[in-house]
């Protein structure tokens, strides 16, 4: 089932516009400068609640990706689709010079390659060869669902706005040939768990030690989610 769904998403349900769009949102390097600027602006000019949300999101990513995802990647060592499945389309942003910002690749056509050939045989090219990799689980899915979960917990009315973006990024990892569907589902689950855990952990810490460590700030903000 995992393989069949990967084939559908990666090789059947495709379109030129989807190649460009999903390869773009899947590329962290392209959007990292913008994200860093937004985070910096939020830390400098945001409210106490917004700053705590940013801190919690960072903690959530650390829990879900830094600990859980990386640990499972080394434990499971599942190969990526393009390492073992002939015919997998690896879809990437168009290339630009290393001296230029990666986001400029948005103006270039996406690059589509077939690492093991553009065929779909019944068996892999080397069925007896043991191939290891770091496909399970998906770090992209974990990171983005962790952030989406934190946003929803901090801002129930507006935080859902990021959820469709997070889901699209998770889907893009299958579409671009980077992950199997099960990798993405596992990453999403870890992200939700990491986001929830980080929020509850920070709430507990603030209630237990906030008044002791930051008495004036705690008087103004006794809760990190519900404003006083």
In the chain, where are the structural domains located? 2-220
Q: CA Rg, the chain, in Å?
A: 20
Question: Residues 151-163: what's their mean pLDDT?
Answer: 93
Which residues have C-beta within 8 Å of that of residue 155, sequence separation ≥ 6?
Answer: 53
The pair of three-digit structure tokens given for residue 97, joined into one six-digit string: 């010079």
Q: What is the pLDDT of the chain when averaged over all its residues?
A: 89
Q: Where do the H-state alpha helices sit in the chain?
A: 2-7, 16-25, 28-45, 48-61, 70-76, 81-84, 139-154, 163-175, 181-205, 211-213, 215-220
The C-alpha atoms of residue 35 and residue 70 are separated, in whole angstroms, by: 22
Chain-centre distance for alpha carbon 98: 23
pLDDT of residue 151: 96
- DSSP class of 117: -
The C-alpha atoms of residue 48 and residue 109 are separated, in whole angstroms, by: 42
On whether the CB atoms of residues 186 and 135 are closer than 8 A, the answer is no
Own/partner long-range contacts of 206-215 (Cβ < 8 Å, ≥24 apart): 206/52
On whether the CB atoms of residues 75 and 108 are closer than 8 A, the answer is no
Nearest to 169 by CA among 190, 143, 149, 151: 143
For 58-86, the pLDDT digits (tens) are 999 999 999 999 999 999 999 999 999 99
pTM comes to 0.89
Residue 118's pLDDT band (cuts 50, 70, 90): low
For 163-194, the pLDDT digits (tens) are 999 999 999 999 999 999 999 999 999 999 99
Q: Where do the H-state alpha helices sit in 9-47?
A: 16-25, 28-45
Which residues have C-beta within 8 Å of that of residue 218, sequence separation ≥ 6?
Answer: 206, 210, 211
Nearest to 165 by CA among 154, 153, 152, 178: 152
């Amino acid at each position: 089932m995992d393989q069949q769904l990967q084939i559908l998403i990666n090789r059947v349900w495709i379109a030129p516009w989807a190649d460009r769009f999903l390869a773009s949102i899947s590329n962290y390097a392209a959007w990292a400068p913008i994200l860093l600027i937004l985070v910096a602006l939020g830390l400098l000019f945001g409210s106490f609640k917004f700053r705590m949300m940013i801190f919690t999101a960072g903690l959530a990513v650390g829990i879900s990706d830094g600990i859980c995802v990386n640990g499972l990647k080394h434990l499971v060592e599942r190969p990526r689709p393009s390492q073992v499945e002939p015919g997998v389309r690896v879809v990437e942003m168009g290339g630009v010079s290393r001296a230029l910002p990666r986001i400029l690749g948005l103006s270039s056509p996406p690059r589509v390659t077939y690492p093991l050939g553009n065929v779909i045989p019944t068996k892999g090219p080397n069925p007896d060869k043991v191939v290891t990799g770091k496909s399970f689980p998906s770090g992209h899915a974990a990171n983005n669902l962790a952030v989406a979960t934190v946003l929803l917990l901090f801002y129930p009315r507006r935080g859902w706005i990021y959820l469709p973006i997070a889901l699209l990024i998770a889907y893009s990892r299958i579409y671009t040939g980077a992950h199997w569907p099960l990798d993405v589902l596992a990453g999403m689950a870890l992200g939700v768990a990491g986001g929830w855990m980080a929020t509850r952990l920070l709430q507990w810490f603030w209630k237990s030690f906030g008044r002791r460590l930051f008495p004036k700030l705690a008087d103004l903000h006794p809760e990190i989610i519900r404003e006083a």
